[in-house]
Amino acid sequence: MRKVVLVTGASSGIGLALCKRLLAEDDELHLCLACRNMCKAEAVRADLLASHPTAEVTTVQVDVSNLQSVFRASKELKQIFERLRLLWLVSNAQDNPLKKLKKSHTFVFSLRKVLHMFSTAEGLLTQEDKITGDGLQEVFETNVFGHFILFRELESLLCHSDHPSRLIWTSSRNARKSNFSLEDFQHCKGHEPYSSSKYATDLLSVALNRNFSQQGLYSSVVCPGTVLTNLTYGILPPFTWTLLMPFIWLLRFFAHAFTLTPYNGTEALVWLFHQKPESLNPLTKYMSATTGFGNNYVIPQKMDLDEDTAEKFYQSLLELEKHIRATVQKSDDQS
């Protein structure tokens, strides 16, 4: 039986690069591309099959910022598959970045701070957030809750004690404890929703390990580093990136977080593909890194969190899930 791997956000960026690298590692996989845009998904599928004809590639439409879409996709997936071995959650809701330059001049005099700013985006940008049709904060729903509901819906396909399955979350170096609050985990009142959502991802991964490892499901967190994708290019005007590129390439000799390409950014994700999940430390984030000479490697880093906070956050998500399901049921009954 083929190993089934489901990748969200598979039509571009990190998700697409991951799919290509996974098939290069094992072209006997059954790869399922979970994408919002089905035209792009089908084009990617055709390209992958052209280069790996022995692979099996399917597509499913899902928009993780829309819970009805998540429910529909989950139902379809449960009709197709009996078991999932890996669920890769590649998400980056950061569609409306805003430049925040009021503190940038303070970085000019410190190379250490310049490296930190460009490798994490801290102090360089903030972001607009908005309410989705589900009544949730968009960044939180896209990066955290939509994927959490997807996992909950597919739990029966993932939890099999006779053979371990994997849940792998895409986090960030900008996942900062100071930007997260249990009392405001959707980050309604803050100005760093992206950072907050990625810290929430770290917490959730730890809690899921704690609650599901005995059922054969293991959760891990990865960070692709600073990758130049359409998302990144949207932060600054194109000509600014042209001017910055020589400087950014030079910075790679000092800070290996500058992976720059989606291929390099997937190094930690592909490395995890070859590891035994039960051997991994659930409190560790695995980060892709690239040297100034272009060599890729993985950096394990202990996450700045505690398991009690992770469990409280998990319980908060379960309560939110209960509320959402009750609302959906009420709406269905009325219609």
117: nearest Cα among 8, 272, 236, 17: 236
pLDDT digits (tens, 9 = 90+) for 270-288: 999 999 999 999 999 999 9
Q: What is the mean pLDDT of each run of 10 residues along the chain (335 residues)?
A: 93 94 94 96 97 96 96 96 90 51 43 53 61 95 96 95 92 93 95 94 98 96 87 70 82 86 96 94 97 94 96 98 88 69
**CA separation for the pair 205, 240 (Å, rounded):** 36
CA atoms within 13 A on the CB side of 98: 9
- Helix residue spans in the chain (DSSP H): 13-25, 38-51, 67-80, 111-120, 138-140, 146-153, 155-158, 193-212, 230-233, 238-251, 262-265, 267-273, 307-334
286 catalytic? Reply is: no
Tokens describing residue 72? 């529909």
Q: Measured between alpha carbons, how far is 134 from 66 in angstroms, rounded to an integer?
A: 7
Name the class of domain 4-334: alpha beta
What pLDDT, on a 0 to 100 scale, did the predictor assign at position 213? 95
Domain range annotation of the chain: 4-334
> Cα(326)–Cα(335) distance, rounded to whole angstroms?
14
Q: Between 38-51 and 13-25, two packed helices, what is the crossing angle to 10 degrees?
A: 30
* Cα separation, 229 vs 51, whole angstroms: 23
pLDDT in tens, 194-226: 999 999 999 999 999 999 999 999 999 999 998
Torsion of CA 247, 249, 255, 261, to 10 degrees: 130
Q: Residues for the chain: how many in total?
A: 335
Predicted local distance difference test score (pLDDT) of residue 233: 66
pTM score of the predicted model: 0.89
Q: Which of 194, 218, 263, 314 is labelled catalytic?
A: 194
HEC string of 262-325 equals HHHHCHHHHHHHCCCHHHCCCCEEEEEEECCCCCEEEEEEECCCCHHHHHHHHHHHHHHHHHHH
How far is residue 27's CA from residue 61's CA, in Å, rounded to a whole number? 23
